[in-house]
Amino acid sequence: MKPFLVLLLALSLKADSPKETTKLNFDQRVEIVRGLMSEYATVKAFLPRSKKPLSIDGSGKYDKRKWEEIGREFGPAARLGDLVQITKVTLDDDKILFEINGGVKAKKKWYENVEVGMGGSTRPLGGNQSTNAPGGTY
């Protein structure tokens, strides 16, 4: 199924002539998002944490020096061979934005901040209070 999606994406975004561009219709956009959402992948190159999206061109090339610099500043989101998950897919006019491992920002549910108590003492309802920083990227 994955090679089909990559082929579909490549054919959908390919222009017929230099002046004419093809737009994805709604069904194609839904198919791409459903096909890529919650997919797991093995990292083949160092993947740094970044507040801004890391760019990769259509041929798969990226600025390795820039990625290493970002990695020294914010640390790694994944190293070679790590398993990562695509947690969100956003389709724009000329790009696809992937959120990897939940992104950089920590997301908490409203009920994870609720505390119950009597008198002067309270305690959190959520038993699983993780203090680990999020380790994702865009």
**Residue 36: both structure tokens together:** 């890529």
pLDDT digits (tens, 9 = 90+) for 86-129: 888 888 888 888 888 888 776 677 777 777 777 777 777 665 55
Question: Does residue 50 register a pLDDT over 70?
Answer: yes
Q: What is the number of other CB atoms lying within 10 angstroms of the CB of residue 2? A: 10
pTM of the prediction?
A: 0.62
Q: Nearest-CA neighbor of 44 among 81, 91, 84?
A: 81
- What are the extents of the domains in the chain? 1-36, 38-138
Segment 49-76 shows an average pLDDT of 89
Report pLDDT for 66.
92
Length of the chain (residues): 138
Residue 13 pLDDT level (bands cut at 50, 70, 90): low
Burial bucket for residue 16 (CB in 10 Å: 0-12, 13-18, 19+): exposed
